[in-house]
Structure 1
């Protein structure tokens, strides 16, 4: 995650990489089988970060190493 900075939360990293991939919240949420509201809350820190298995699925869909989401 070079250049992104260590100060970003997991949710902020998900949002960054989602946008970089060109996905809307609706598209990414649908790909993982959750609601847009769920993803929005994750990205804004209003919900705890997802479990490691969901983070692994998000990293697979976003085509990046899991470590990039974890920081």
Structure 2
């Protein structure tokens, strides 16, 4: 599992800098940087929830994007592809606070 890669991917897709995401998630920039570099592999569920909420995506999406191929081996390939497509579509949508009213 590579949670740091998933966080960085989602952050970049949303167009946030590390500073912006850290502020939105109420965590330090240095902690976020360490998470993204996989130098801290022990984030609590509450930290993951804060990051997910700041990115406006379900935490399950982060876990799915962080999963290694071996961790997904129990899922049929077509389901893996559908889930990947749905995750990417979700990231391409504007977060609710940025959507035009």
Class of the TM-score when normalised by the shorter of the 2 chains: 0.7 to 0.9
Q: Is 1:15 equivalent to 2:29 in the alignment? A: no
After TM superposition, the runs of 4+ consecutive aligned structure 1 residues lying more than 4 A away are: none
Report the TM-score when normalising by structure 1: 0.79
1:33 positional shift: 2.1
Compute the RMSD of aligned alpha carbons: 1.3
Indicate the residue corresponding to 2:29 in structure 1.
36
1:62 positional shift: 0.7
Report the TM-score when normalising by structure 2: 0.58
Larger proportion of helix: 2
CA distance in 2: counterparts of 1:43 and 1:49, whole angstroms = 12
Indicate the residue corresponding to 1:56 in structure 2.
49
Query: Which structure has the larger Rg?
Result: 2
Please say if residues 25 and 53 of structure 2, whose CA atoms lie closer than 8 Å, have aligned partners that are also in contact: no
Measured against aligned partners, the alpha-carbon deviations of 1:4-58 in whole angstroms (never above 9, x if no partner) come to xxxx611110000000001000111112222211111000111124111111121
